[in-house]
Structure 1
């Protein structure tokens, strides 16, 4: 959708509120004397992919995964929780303490730009971040304490706003534990991890304590020396019709990183496969949060409300291009401190208007980020020798949405939504005052889903809608490129819209099998993107993506489970010559397969395959990343009081790439290359980690 003014936004929000209020007034909820009570739409207790979502889900690409389905899944890193979303990939091109790099529906999401994640109602994506827009670091999540993961793909859901063009994921932690546990994992390359979970009845509620400690040197020639600490304290009162929770979380991590290196250096033997171009890369990060959630429900309505406050910081050192500057090298420092506060409120009424059953929802989301000392420095061995720019930023967003779900016929229902978002950016540049300034922006995003069925336990979906992502506040006010002092002809548009559509089918007709097929299309607007690694802006064109996804979850017996997901995507720039329109790092093919067996005698095993390929690295298609295949194996034995498991990661010791790029790089001591800056273009790669074994023992008490 086109940008709109602040006054237009206020008018639209007022109209939405007035329309909702007038409808409520015209069709009040029945009181006790009313003879005809409204019929509440069906609800479902969410457990996982086996849950019957027929008649519940609003798209074929929407779903839920529960703890029982990923408790046996070998996780080499917490970011792989995102991979429970069919077609999603989480890779890493740096150290374990840094956010993963994500891919979904033909998007190189970088560290989260078009995929939004929340944990217990707290948005995890960071706008105007030191390292990348929408920075999504999931290392503060303890997987063993995640109860379920809800997800949806495409811009069809009114309740999600910024960073949701490709999709969303909502993670929920447990309210309480059936059994307390202590867990210890040890593995090759000095991997040690311990997790403690304790749940205790306290007053009217349950008090849950969780902690995690993780040390890891890694496979790299430069020891990673990861030191990670996580803590969580949650108090929950959960009655039949109402409840609340109070949450406190803390996370701290330090690490040394091995970033991607030139393939030519590996092939020639100058650098080992697990070697590094700069042994001083790495970082330190912290995240501390408090939040509260409240919910209630009756036959007539339900309400959900949460507030949160958090502090986070990051000090990250990276060298992506080596020694284009042969004297100091090209290492940069990206750092920030951030205070984030916000809240979400949602009210839903279960109505019956003119004989039509419907839910009417009104939601409000408010967020403010105060970002201090947002800096990009040039460094050598972590010592600053030049400050490119430093800023303080205030960024506020307000989202208001209304959603109507109506059962028009026995076999036909609709979900219509309208969302209005308003943003205010305020940039105070400490290094170049001309780059300071303020910017307002707003956007309207309509949504519509039509659901037909069910027939033979099969639903048919038609979905369409608009979405968006915000851009870095620094790019919206920039006037002078801080790297070379050249005037910027254009600043970044504050909000970039997307629009998409989908046709899908979900069936549970065959006993034990849940299968979905989705054909989808998505277009993203032309935009200028702020490049945090360079401190300036870089234009990118209008783009189009389309594809097909087929997901399957099959449980033929209580002891055996299969899942198989296939995603094929075509992605291209629009308005450029054919053959020059490839979108770099857009993944065209993702296949995952898993099999899990649970013996009644206590034995269990799981085998998982992840494959992705068809990845162009440059616009003209001259360089492509080879396909990546990785197989993980897990075996174990469990009883009520204990569990022992052995996980083998990268079972066949593949040396495929975790991720690859194509750009100019100069090795230390290397003669100047053909590029103007002395670099040499080529594939820059970061391999997956070699085969490794980890053993875990869990005691329940």
Structure 2
């Protein structure tokens, strides 16, 4: 019997000795590390991904095993396993959907983001946001203000329930002069974006305040493929100039500058006179020990006039046209300057530490008139919203991987701080953008958000369990400059647990169950007015779904979801502010599809159905104003068809309630845009068309009570900003 035991232990020892780790680094043809490369052992089924330094460790390999190495945009490679560390070089190739792996982690939508960005590049910050499946945007100040956002049955206003970041730096402005979570993304030059990460729901511990309906995280490119200059001109006196300039591009260092200038009169009768200038620079260095430093700086300024939201009755009565204005003195100016530093330390293949710090200087001034002559029959109801803000923040994240028996455990811990210093936040009654009649609110805000989180990923074969917890502490201080009252202050902490399950049947099929709690903070002025009551309303969510690749060139993702919020915000048009409301619940279905019909033709589509209701109002009076019931986006993209590229894309937003009893309805719309490009040598010529079929549509709509100057009584009805009519622009680019 002892010989039997001895033989058994010798067999185990021999098997362990034969099963070895396969280690190495993956580079592109220019010897630059490639992250996110997928490696799989064709015998054992074990798999791994390269990190940001291109390094990998693939477990459970035996002599003679075949290792497949693949990444979107590169030719796949097959190697025979050997014990020494290897250097693999991948050659570039045309984008092919059959190289996409759907079972890559907790965020099942990361695959969709990569596919969309590859097959349909963007040229405006509005298009960047439209890359999020199911996310709709609406502009009601001609391109100057941040867009109004819609996602999963939410009217997100300008960002109340969606967390948006660029290179780890927050875009959302808490306790903003115009609206909570105001997210103006116009400082980001679209052509510098290298990756988009997004997901829906409150399921990620590294995403905090406002990440309830979802989050969007943009990452700018570390380096440019080449330098280029683009000039564009089109209808409505629209002009654009873009420059991308490589300064340094070696295996160890990269630096580039980008500049973007846009000017347009817009399609309104009162010229918009819109002007925006963006500047961006980035420098990165890879040190000999594997550490990585990245430094970026950007600045943007924008100025515009706007025709605002107009009442439907004024158009019906012939007082103005659809593109006219009641108060043509609306508009504003804004600007933001950012400095961002990121440093990554790689201790070994299993351990890394990333630290980032940022500073933003922000200014905002907006003139609006929502109610016209309702409150002031003589001077009108124009308001000014203004603020001057400084933002400081940092975050440090430590990641460590362990092997526990046959399972892999990854622990990630992070701590961070954000501090907002808002000076002269103002709401005033004005006329002609020159005279202040009455200051309604004026004060200084200091808001601090400190946080920490712990995230664990325990992978046992095909099953991954992802428990996580996050704690946030927020401190609110408000000094009312219109009174002699002492500084008001409140503080509160909140705990946000998460628990996600993933089952990867194989590299082409993943099932997931996501559970989590998130929150959005209230405006500081609301917090102190309510003496801290319900200042951090929670959101509870659940997603059950799948990512599936039933054929080599077809990806399908689907989810059933539910989201409960302790508190909503309702936009109050006659005051230009937001105020808290009651509890809501939403449930729905998401469905997405990506299909490569030929080597050069790609089809995509995303649909979301939502049933949302207020829980504190009686039936029939419990509709959520402006909450989308059904949305669809889809289109065809042509990539690398000889010298041609381009696409056609449509979006549909169904009609929805504009008030609580659905007696006023915001009309839906179906819009189609298109573009075509032709490249010859270093030059690319392009044509972009908005609203190809010249559809008459309303981009943003609100149920607002207003009074015109000739009216004896006020009227509540739809007020809208018309969507762009048929528009065409031509461009030429040169690469060097």
Return the TM-score normalized by structure 1: 0.89
With 496-505 and 40-49 compared, the bigger mean Cα shift is at 40-49
Q: Which residue of 1 aligns with 2:205?
A: 158
Q: Which residue of 2 aligns with 1:185?
A: 232
Q: Which residue of 1 aligns with 2:314?
A: 265
1:231 aligns with 2:283: no
Counterparts of 1:472-491 in structure 2 under 5 Å? 472-478=523-529
The two structures, once aligned, show a CA RMSD in angstroms of 2.4
CA deviation after TM superposition for structure 1 residue 67, in Å: 9.0
Alpha-carbon contact 2:102-2:111 (below 8 Å) kept: no
Instruction: Kindly provide the CA deviation profile for residues 679-699 of structure 1, in whole angstroms up to 9, marking residues without a partner as x.
Output: 211111111110010001110
Alpha carbons of structure 1 residues 533 and 666: separation in structure 2 relative to 1, 3 Å: closer
With 611-620 and 66-75 compared, the bigger mean Cα shift is at 66-75
Distance in 2, Cα, partners of 1:452 & 1:612: 33
CA deviation after TM superposition for structure 1 residue 37, in Å: 8.0
Alpha-carbon contact 2:179-2:578 (below 8 Å) kept: no
* 1:453 partner SS: strand
Distance in 1, Cα, partners of 2:429 & 2:199: 40
Distance in 2, Cα, partners of 1:640 & 1:171: 31
Distance in 2, Cα, partners of 1:155 & 1:46: 29
Distance in 1, Cα, partners of 2:533 & 2:682: 57
Q: Which residue of 2 aligns with 1:440?
A: 491
Q: Which residue of 1 aligns with 2:138?
A: 91
CA deviation after TM superposition for structure 1 residue 46, in Å: 7.7
Q: Which residue of 2 aligns with 1:395?
A: 447
Q: Which residue of 1 aligns with 2:711?
A: 671
Q: Which residue of 2 aligns with 1:493?
A: 534
Distance in 1, Cα, partners of 2:157 & 2:719: 16
Q: Which residue of 2 aligns with 1:16?
A: none
Runs of at least 5 residues in structure 2 that lack an aligned partner in the other structure: 1-18, 24-45, 51-70, 74-94
* 2:173 partner SS: coil
Instruction: Pick from 259, 262, 269 the counterpart of residue 221 of structure 1.
Output: 269
Q: Which residue of 2 aligns with 1:275?
A: 324
CA deviation after TM superposition for structure 1 residue 455, in Å: 4.2
CA deviation after TM superposition for structure 1 residue 534, in Å: 2.8
Alpha-carbon contact 2:383-2:427 (below 8 Å) kept: yes
Distance in 1, Cα, partners of 2:102 & 2:640: 30
Instruction: Kindly provide the CA deviation profile for residues 477-510 of structure 1, in whole angstroms up to 9, marking residues without a partner as x.
Output: 127xxxxxxxxxx766321110010101101131
CA deviation after TM superposition for structure 1 residue 53, in Å: 4.3
Instruction: Pick from 575, 590, 601 the counterpart of residue 534 of structure 1.
Output: 575
CA deviation after TM superposition for structure 1 residue 359, in Å: 0.4
Q: Which residue of 2 aligns with 1:521?
A: 562
CA deviation after TM superposition for structure 1 residue 625, in Å: 1.4
* 1:652 partner SS: coil
Distance in 1, Cα, partners of 2:527 & 2:569: 9
Q: Which residue of 1 aligns with 2:104?
A: 56
* 1:454 partner SS: strand
Distance in 2, Cα, partners of 1:62 & 1:636: 27
Distance in 2, Cα, partners of 1:368 & 1:500: 28
Q: Which residue of 1 aligns with 2:340?
A: 291
Instruction: Kindly provide the CA deviation profile for residues 655-686 of structure 1, in whole angstroms up to 9, marking residues without a partner as x.
Output: 1111111121112x22221xxxxx21111111
CA deviation after TM superposition for structure 1 residue 302, in Å: 1.9
Q: Which residue of 2 aligns with 1:21?
A: none
Alpha-carbon contact 1:475-1:492 (below 8 Å) kept: no
Alpha carbons of structure 1 residues 451 and 520: separation in structure 2 relative to 1, 3 Å: same
1:470 aligns with 2:470: no
Alpha carbons of structure 1 residues 71 and 457: separation in structure 2 relative to 1, 3 Å: closer
Alpha-carbon contact 1:471-1:530 (below 8 Å) kept: no
Alpha-carbon contact 2:372-2:381 (below 8 Å) kept: yes
1:558 aligns with 2:607: no
Q: Which residue of 1 aligns with 2:48?
A: 42
Alpha carbons of structure 1 residues 691 and 586: separation in structure 2 relative to 1, 3 Å: same
Q: Which residue of 1 aligns with 2:16?
A: none
* 2:100 partner SS: coil
Distance in 2, Cα, partners of 1:73 & 1:591: 20
* 2:550 partner SS: coil
Alpha-carbon contact 2:294-2:342 (below 8 Å) kept: yes
Q: Which residue of 1 aligns with 2:468?
A: 417
CA deviation after TM superposition for structure 1 residue 365, in Å: 1.9
Counterparts of 1:591-606 in structure 2 under 5 Å? 591-606=632-647
1:696 aligns with 2:736: no
Distance in 2, Cα, partners of 1:74 & 1:146: 9
Alpha carbons of structure 1 residues 71 and 332: separation in structure 2 relative to 1, 3 Å: farther
* 2:390 partner SS: strand
Distance in 2, Cα, partners of 1:228 & 1:314: 14
- Number of matched pairs: 649
Alpha carbons of structure 1 residues 364 and 384: separation in structure 2 relative to 1, 3 Å: same
Distance in 2, Cα, partners of 1:53 & 1:160: 24
Q: Which residue of 2 aligns with 1:7?
A: none
Counterparts of 1:572-651 in structure 2 under 5 Å? 572-651=613-692
Instruction: Pick from 712, 720, 727 the counterpart of residue 685 of structure 1.
Output: 720
Distance in 1, Cα, partners of 2:706 & 2:118: 40
* 1:477 partner SS: helix
Alpha carbons of structure 1 residues 214 and 279: separation in structure 2 relative to 1, 3 Å: same
Distance in 1, Cα, partners of 2:96 & 2:270: 41
Comparing both chains, which one has the higher relative contact order based on Cα–Cα distances under 8 Å and sequence gaps of 6 or more? 1
Distance in 2, Cα, partners of 1:148 & 1:532: 36
Distance in 2, Cα, partners of 1:698 & 1:209: 17
Distance in 2, Cα, partners of 1:101 & 1:513: 32
Alpha carbons of structure 1 residues 274 and 360: separation in structure 2 relative to 1, 3 Å: same
Return the TM-score normalized by structure 2: 0.84
With 352-361 and 643-652 compared, the bigger mean Cα shift is at 352-361
Alpha-carbon contact 2:594-2:604 (below 8 Å) kept: yes
* 2:49 partner SS: coil
Q: Which residue of 2 aligns with 1:105?
A: 152
1:300 aligns with 2:306: no
1:148 aligns with 2:195: yes
With 120-129 and 236-245 compared, the bigger mean Cα shift is at 236-245
Q: Which residue of 1 aligns with 2:366?
A: 316
CA deviation after TM superposition for structure 1 residue 55, in Å: 2.9
* 2:588 partner SS: strand
Distance in 2, Cα, partners of 1:442 & 1:201: 45
Alpha carbons of structure 1 residues 355 and 603: separation in structure 2 relative to 1, 3 Å: closer
Alpha-carbon contact 2:628-2:654 (below 8 Å) kept: yes
